[in-house]
Amino acid sequence: MSPDALLVAEYLGRALYGGAILLIAIGIYAMVARYNLMRVLLGLALVESGVNLFLVAIGFRPEAAAPIIVGGVTDVPMVDPLPQALVLTAIVIGVGVLALAAALLIRVKETYGTLDTREVAKFLAAEPADAAPAAGTAVAGTPARETVNAGSAS
């Protein structure tokens, strides 16, 4: 690798950290400063991407090759493969959690008719006597569907 290319790779490595921090910051901003639950979820997705980028950046070495042994040659510097394996797991978990969140989001919209966190918080803070548990029923007007768990709200 030429010295110039190495320098570029080194700056790229540093830029990865900057990008990760920026993504996490934008994501957290979206989560706390926006009241729309959809935007909160998008913020969450940004935070997760930022964290994943951060983990990949930890393993990055400017002079190193991809961690694949080609032709039995093992003495070349390689990028640390472990964070990459971690990120794969983290991405899969993140997808699952976001999918579950999206499913709950649909339920919230059906049940309360709003995605505004302030409105939802009002429902939750209400005295249990007021928010009489309407077991398994959605708000009037929404089509009846099988509830997640038809059951008593004991």
Partner 1 sequence: MTSGANTLVLPIVLPLLGAFLLPLVARFGDGLARALGIVLVVVNIFLGWTLWSAVGTEAAVTALGGFEAPLGIVLYGDRLAALFVAVLAVGALIFWPRAEHGGVKAYTLTLLLVAGGSGLVLSGDLFNIFVFYEIVAVASYGLAASSGDKAGFGAALRYLVLGALGSSLVLIGIGLVYAAAGTLNLADIARLAPEKLSGTTGLAAFLLLVLGFGVKAELFPVNTWVPEVYAAAPMRVTAILAGVVSKLAMVVILRLLVLVFHDPAAISLLMAVAIVTIVAGEFAAYRASDLNRTFAYSSIAQLGLVALALTIPATAGILAAIAVALHHAVVKPAFFVIAAKWRGPLAGLAGGARVAPAAAGLFVLLALSIIGIPPLPGFWAKLVLLGGAFDAGGAYAFAAAVVLAATVVEAAYLFRVVARIWQPAAGAKPAHFAFSDLSPALLLGVILIVATLFVAPIGTALSGAAASAADAGSYVARVLPGRM
Crossing angle of helices 37-59/81-112, nearest 10°? 180
Smallest distance from the beta carbon of 75 to partner 1, in angstroms? 19
30 and 41 Cβ atoms separated by less than 8 Å = no
Among residues 11 and 123, whose Cβ is nearest to partner 1? 123
Cα–Cα distance measured from residue 117 to residue 132, given in angstroms and rounded to the nearest whole number: 20
CA distances 142 to 62, 118, 147, Å, are 56, 22, 12
Helices (H), the chain: 3-33, 37-59, 81-112, 117-125
Binding of partner 1 by 152 (CB under 8 A): yes
Binding of partner 1 by 28 (CB under 8 A): yes
Q: Which of 100, 140, 141, 145: binder of partner 1 (CB under 8 A)?
A: 100
Smallest distance from the beta carbon of 117 to partner 1, in angstroms? 8
Binding of partner 1 by 16 (CB under 8 A): no
| Span of 2-10, 69-77, 90-98 interacting with partner 1 by CB under 8 A | 90-98
Q: Reduce the DSSP state of residue 114 to 3 states and report it.
A: coil
105 and 117 Cβ atoms separated by less than 8 Å = no
- For partner 1, the binding residues (CB under 8 A) are 24, 28, 31, 37, 40-41, 44, 47-48, 51, 54-55, 58, 82-83, 86, 89-90, 93-94, 96-98, 100-101, 104-105, 107-108, 111-112, 117, 120-121, 123-124, 126-129, 131, 133-136, 147-154
